[in-house]
A = this chain, B = another copy of it.
Amino acid sequence: MRALLAAAGVVVDHPGSPRVLDGLDLTLIAGRRLALLGANGAGKSTLLRCLSGALRPSSGAVLVDGEPLRHDRRGLARHRQTVQLVLQDPDDQIVASEVRHDVAYGPTNLGLDAAEVATRVDHALDALGIADLARRPVHHLSFGQRKRVALAGAVAMAPRVLLLDEPTAGLDPAGTVALLETIEVLEARGVTVALSTHDLDLAWRWADEVAVLVGGRAVVGDPGVLLADDDLLRQAALASPWQARVLRAAGAAIPTPRPRDAEDVVAALGIRESAIG
């Protein structure tokens, strides 16, 4: 249980409006999947921007390996080789007009030599399964393809932590499946992944741990517990995922490990085919 990245008492104020984050604590453990949940405007993106170093909290600290992040040139430069954030809209992140040039942007800025940059780009494109797009102009790509290019650009920075803001928003079911496979590839390479999402079903199936944002703070815990906690979800303006709803409707408790797909749910209900009339 190694605390890789943490927020400690993070406060974000915008003058004249209510506090977005109000003393938020959160810890990312190496190798553990964290899903960040919350309604629109609950502060998910703000938190991710704080963790990535893009936004400096009004007070509180971001810790990397237990050390507070210093928001000076050196501190941020080091932080960005540890943590990379992938935004919801890939167009906010793609700066070059050709795929491989965009993916090479970060490594080039690191001052790596051309051969090393090329290797990083190839590895990143491979991990995302888009090696065939390398020489394509970005504006000819579909939304899903552009999302992968943005992700490749972050992966090419070789971070230890990848933060994904609403990575499945706008993707079709096949795109979501492909994204989850990509995350597994990255995890196998030692990257720790955290994501924010509206999709409670995704959080239930994917996460080891969920953080529900309510009133500027995070309630952190096991998905099987928190996502069945109606009081918490009502406060957060969320709803429980279908797995929890079905078990509840049948009056069944949520077993451990929690049932993730339809087969598991049916098994948890203790139904055999013969039992049905």
Contact = CB atoms under 8 A, between A and B. Distances in A.
A271 B265 CA distance: 13
Interface stretch (A25-33, A64-72, A92-100, A242-250): A242-250
Contacts of A269: 250, 269, 271, 276
A9 interface: no
Interface residues of A, number: 41
A242 B242 contact: yes
A174 interface: yes
A146 to B, nearest CB: 11
A266 B242 CA distance: 12
Interface in A182-239: 198, 200-201, 237-239
Contacts of A263: 249
Contacts of A248: 262
Contact of A40 (B143, B238, B271): B143
Nearest to A170: B169
A39 B39 CA distance: 26
Chain B CB within 10 Å, residue with most, of A237, A246, A277: A246
A273 interface: yes
A115 interface: no
B242 A262 contact: yes
Nearest to A44: B172
A60 interface: no
Contacts of A15: none
A39 B172 contact: yes
A29 to B, nearest CB: 26
A41 interface: yes
Contacts of A265: 246, 249
A40 B246 contact: no
A172 B40 contact: yes
A269 B198 CA distance: 29
Contacts of A249: 262-263, 265-266
A250 B276 contact: yes
Among A170, A198, A238, A273, the one with the most B-chain Cβ atoms within 10 Å of its Cβ is: A198
